[in-house]
Copies of this chain bind each other. A is one copy, B any other.
Amino acid sequence: MKVGIIGATGYAGEELVRLLLQREDTEIVWYGSKSYVGQKYASIYQNLFRFVPDVCKEDDMEQLAEEADVVFTATPQGLCASLVNEDILSKTKIIDLSADFRIKDVSVYEQWYKIEHRSPQFLEEAVYGLPEINREKVKKARLIANPGCYPTCSFLSTYPAVKEGIIDGNTLIIDAKSGTSGAGRGAKVDNLFCEVNENMKAYGVASHRHTPEIEEQLSLAAGEKITISFTPHLVPMNRGILVTAYGSLKKDVSEKEIREIYNSYYKNEYFVRVLEEGMVPQTRFVEGSNFADVNIKLDKRTGRLIMMGAIDNLVKGAAGQAIQNMNLMFGLPENKGLTQLPMFP
């Protein structure tokens, strides 16, 4: 498979490169970058010294479509939607790691992202690439909207409880915590070491763009419109997302029964690990892997279910999930190239 990457010099792009280089059935033919055109890729990411002789190229989707069997766009919102067209989709498959095709309702997209959607005609065709719920659609797709990092972790943590009507979806509060690689590699004062280290803060309170994405997917699961509270936080660590979600119980059901439901939902899912009673998801225990660890705790005292999940934001939350989608699209084993065990410490 020949692979092109637009946005290869961001953290998600680099994780794609790192993971794909370790396979024998893929060849990266295009290291796209806006800021580093003409520079050696390995001079930017010295971890890949000796393994990537290539220099970075400009974004040229037309040319890429000729050369690559699949194109990953790990780029800012709006770019993929501005580049894609029928001709391109007839020549290559696209896995978009931006939010351009995640939200089906174009007005919701434009309201939260404050940009005009340039290719709304592909919204219906684009498949929301969460294999755990859309596996069959992914297999046949030409255009994948790769889910956001927070939505992936939030959804996998709460899906069975919402789908089964165990909790009232409209009581759902998702308090999420993310490592700093989620903020990208842009040179901003806010992301400097000294600003992040020894600090914890919320951001995007009541306004984060992943909110409507989570709501849309949970609404589909519940079969009714669900509105949630979602608050992300920045944590002084490189990788990892932790979700702690709270929902009011609608049914009289025991913790054991809920865990069994979770187990039955995910029993065939290689990448979702339902932990045992008393274990909590921890980001260190999924770091570097494509796993999502989830568990629940029933709090009888308050009548609430506490749902917890952990992923590596750059793997299951971005590059790993994109490759999982690629595997499905090309008829390969879903976990091919993604069997790395979490690295600890």
* B residues near A288, Cβ cutoff 8 Å: 288, 343
Q: Does A235 contact B (CB under 8 A)?
A: yes
Q: Does A206 contact B (CB under 8 A)?
A: yes
User: How many residues of chain A are within 8 Å of chain B by beta carbon?
Assistant: 82
Complex contact A177–B180 (CB within 8 A): no
Min C-beta distance of A161 to chain B, whole Å: 15
Per-residue CB proximity of A177-197 to B under 8 Å, as 1/0?
101110001011101111111
Complex contact A193–B236 (CB within 8 A): yes
* B residues near A203, Cβ cutoff 8 Å: 280
Per-residue CB proximity of A191-219 to B under 8 Å, as 1/0?
11111111111110110000000000000
* B residues near A299, Cβ cutoff 8 Å: 205-206, 229
Could you say which of B187, B236, B238, B341 contacts A187, with CB atoms under 8 Å apart?
B187
Min C-beta distance of A157 to chain B, whole Å: 12
Given contacts A47-B342, A206-B301, contact A198 B229 (CB under 8 A): no
Complex contact B306–A194 (CB within 8 A): no
Could you say which of B49, B173, B206, B279 contacts A46, with CB atoms under 8 Å apart?
B279
Complex contact B206–A283 (CB within 8 A): no
Complex contact B343–A18 (CB within 8 A): yes
CA distance A177 to B233 in the complex (A): 10
Min C-beta distance of A300 to chain B, whole Å: 8
Complex contact A282–B341 (CB within 8 A): no
* B residues near A285, Cβ cutoff 8 Å: 46-47, 49
Q: Does A146 contact B (CB under 8 A)?
A: no
Can you identify 19 A-B contacts, CB atoms within 8 angstroms?
A45-B344, A47-B287, A47-B289, A175-B175, A179-B198, A193-B193, A193-B197, A193-B236, A198-B238, A198-B283, A198-B287, A199-B237, A201-B310, A202-B242, A205-B306, A206-B299, A227-B302, A236-B236, A288-B288
Q: Which residues of A contact B (CB under 8 A)?
A: 11, 14, 18, 21-22, 43, 45-51, 173, 175, 177, 179-181, 185, 187-189, 191-203, 205-206, 227-229, 231, 233, 235-240, 242, 244, 246, 273, 275, 279-289, 293, 297-299, 301-302, 304, 306, 308, 310, 339-345
